[in-house]
Amino acid sequence: MLNKMTAAAVAIMALSLIGCTKNTDSAVIAKVNSAKITTGDFKKQLNELQPQMLQAVATDAKARKEFLEDLIGIELVLQEARRQGLDKDAEFKKKQDALKKELEQRVQDAAKNELFNALLKKELMDKVKEPTDDEIKTYYDSHREEIKKAAGGKDITLKQAEAQGLKRYVFQMKQRDAYLEFSKGLRAKAKVTVDDKALETLATDLSKPAPSGTLQLNQPEAKTEKKAEGTK
The pLDDT value recorded for residue 211 is 55
Low-confidence ranges of the chain (pLDDT < 70): 1-24, 210-232
Task: Indicate the DSSP class of residue 127.
Answer: T
- The interaxial angle of helices 90-124 and 220-229, nearest 10 deg, is 40
Could you write out the DSSP letters of every residue in 41-55? HHHHHHTTS-HHHHH
The pLDDT value recorded for residue 115 is 95
The pLDDT value recorded for residue 53 is 86
Given a contact cutoff of 8 angstroms between Cβ atoms, the answer to whether 25 and 40 are in contact is yes
The pLDDT value recorded for residue 132 is 94
Sign of torsion, CA 100 104 105 107? positive
The string of pLDDT tens digits covering residues 97-106 is 999 999 999 9
The pLDDT value recorded for residue 120 is 92
Residue 179: closest CA among 142, 143, 128: 128
Burial class (CB in 10 A: 0-12, 13-18, 19+), 29: middle
The string of pLDDT tens digits covering residues 133-175 is 999 999 999 999 999 898 888 988 999 999 999 999 999 999 9
The pLDDT value recorded for residue 24 is 60
Measured CA distances, 131 to 6, 138, 139, 159, 169 (Å): 52, 10, 10, 15, 10
The pLDDT value recorded for residue 78 is 94
